[in-house]
Amino acid sequence: MNDSSYLTDRVSTSLASSTASTASSFSENVIIGSSITDLPAPQKVQRLFQKARTAFINRQFANSYTLIQTLLSRSSTSIVAPIVNNNVPLKNNIWILYVTLIENILSLSPEESKSLFSKADLAEFSRLVKEFSVWNVVHEAFENSSPSLELIYAVAHAGAQQSLNPELVRQRINLYVNSYTGSTQDSFFLRLLELHALVILPACERWNDAQEFVADHDEISPDRKQQLLNKIIEMQAQIQEKRAKRIAKENERAARRKKRKEAQEAAKAERESEASAVVRRQHDSLSASGKLSDAQDASLGTVRFWKTILLASKRPEVLRRIIAFILIAFALGVPRNRARLLRTLSGGWGRLARTISMAVKVRYL
């Protein structure tokens, strides 16, 4: 079973251990048969946790989050906060559920997460896990005690899977492992060692450190140690192979882009060369007689004109000017348009002359 599914299953069974510390003075039929409002305060908290856990298992993440917010409330008027703080096993299980819930929420697609939570909530989840500030938040919540090793593992797992700063995760977990004073044969401590060696250190590209980390921890059995070392070597080889393939594809794409660019430049140069060759051949053939006739000169002008159009096709602004010039020349080539333009200009000059004459007369008077 992988670590992620283990955490989910652990949340599914965590109610039993958290209930044991407070349920001794209450009969089972009171817990099951009464509504939340009829229960004593400690049992209300237990029932809220049970509802939050059930909602999480059924992937009703928004409902589970709302219930957990009630359980983790620090309001001075809350009756929940004192009960949770005085029940350390329950508090640890609530935080395990909370951290695991956030990790699962961040694994949703953007569309699904936005449909369930507000932008403010999603930003808070990102800050807690992706920036790995959850480490400080958890330790602040347990200021008068220490978070359980199981909770530390849940926090490390969330950071290893979702954090954008794996180096910070590495530093936190490395410091915790080096200062750990509990049982080194605790299953969660061994899981934490493996998580650090197989996920956190490789995420930081510290392959040699990962192998040394496994080799230096005698808490890991020799057989398991060899399995971990082989796994690290295999992972490194797979990542290096994927990286080499990615680089090869990038180089191949770059080579294709370069080839296309060179082909385009060669085609452009060929077009320009062909246009120049046409002009030279026309000029040479027409100049062979010693003098160009009007028809020959017009023919040469036509060739030069189309050469200009061909070259200008690569420069839109030049092409627009040429087209405008052609339209103006065509319009002036029509006698009626030319006569209209002359009348307009002559009328304008006449009005200008009359205006100047009137100004002179006024000045004289």
Residues 6+ apart with CB under 8 A from 131: 163, 164, 165
Q: What is the DSSP string of 166-185?
A: HHHHHHHHHHHHHH--S-TT
| DSSP one-letter code for 200 | I
Number of Cβ within 10 Å of residue 207's Cβ equals 16
In degrees rounded to 5, what are phi and psi of residue 69? -60, -35
Are 100 and 7 in contact by the 8 Å Cβ rule? The answer is yes
pLDDT of residue 327: 63
Q: Is residue 360 pLDDT above 50, yes or no?
A: no
Q: Which residue has the tokens 């569309």?
A: 111
pLDDT at 281: 76
- As a whole number, the mean pLDDT across the chain is 79
Q: Which amino acid is at 162?
A: Q
Q: What is the mean pLDDT of residues 74-100?
A: 88
Q: Tell me which of 121-125, 226-230, 281-285 is least confident.
A: 281-285
Judged against a pLDDT cut of 60, whether residue 179 lies above it is answered with yes
Which is nearest to 297 in space by CA: 277, 312, 282? Answer: 282
Distances (CA, A) of 338 to 321, 327, 335, 341, 342: 21, 13, 5, 5, 6
Confidence (pLDDT) at 277: 81
- In this prediction, residue 334 carries a pLDDT of 60
Query: What secondary structure letter does DSSP report for 25?
Result: G
SS3 per residue for 82-129: HHHHHCHHHHHHHHHHHHHHHHHHCCCCHHHHHHHCCHHHHHHHHHHH
To 10 degrees, the CA torsion angle through 84, 88, 93, 95?
70
**Secondary structure E strands in 57-137:** none
Angstrom distance (rounded) from CA 199 to CA 210: 9
Q: Residue 7: is its pLDDT beyond 70?
A: no
Overall average pLDDT of the 218-222 stretch: 94
Position 355 pLDDT exceeds 90: no
> What residue has token string 């001075």?
76
The pLDDT, as a whole number, for residue 79 is 81
pLDDT (0 to 100) of residue 330? 58
Per-residue model confidence (pLDDT) at position 62: 96
Does the pLDDT at position 147 exceed 70? Answer: yes
Evaluate if residue 203 carries a pLDDT over 50.
yes
CB 80 within 8 A of CB 71: yes
Q: Residue 228, CB half-sphere, CA atoms under 13 Å: how many? A: 29
What is the Cα–Cα distance from 91 to 75, expressed in whole angstroms?
Answer: 16
pLDDT for 293 equals 53
The pLDDT value recorded for residue 149 is 96
Q: At what angle do helices 88-105 and 41-57 cross, to 10 degrees?
A: 30
Q: What is the mean pLDDT of residues 118-141?
A: 94
Range in 37-41, 170-174, 198-202, 292-296 with the lowest mean pLDDT: 292-296
Q: What is the number of helices (H) and of strands (E) in the chain?
A: 18, 0
**Is 340 or 96 the better-scoring residue by pLDDT?**
96
Is residue 351 classed exposed, middle or buried when 0-12, 13-18 and 19+ CB atoms within 10 A define those classes?
A: exposed
What's the pLDDT score for residue 304?
Answer: 60
Task: Say whether pLDDT at 202 is over 60.
Answer: yes
pLDDT of 131 reads 93
Q: Give the model confidence (pLDDT) of 273-320 as tens digits.
A: 887 887 777 667 656 655 545 555 555 555 566 566 556 555 666 666
Inform me whether the pLDDT recorded for 348 exceeds 80.
no
> What pLDDT is recorded for position 154?
96
If DSSP states are collapsed to H, E and C, what string results for 32-83?
A: HHCCHHHCCHHHHHHHHHHHHHHHHHCCCHHHHHHHHHHHCCCCCCCCHHHH
> How many other C-beta atoms can be found within 10 angstroms of the C-beta atom of residue 19?
23
Confidence grade of residue 358 (pLDDT, cut at 50, 70, 90)? low
32-45 pLDDT tens trace: 333 455 556 788 89
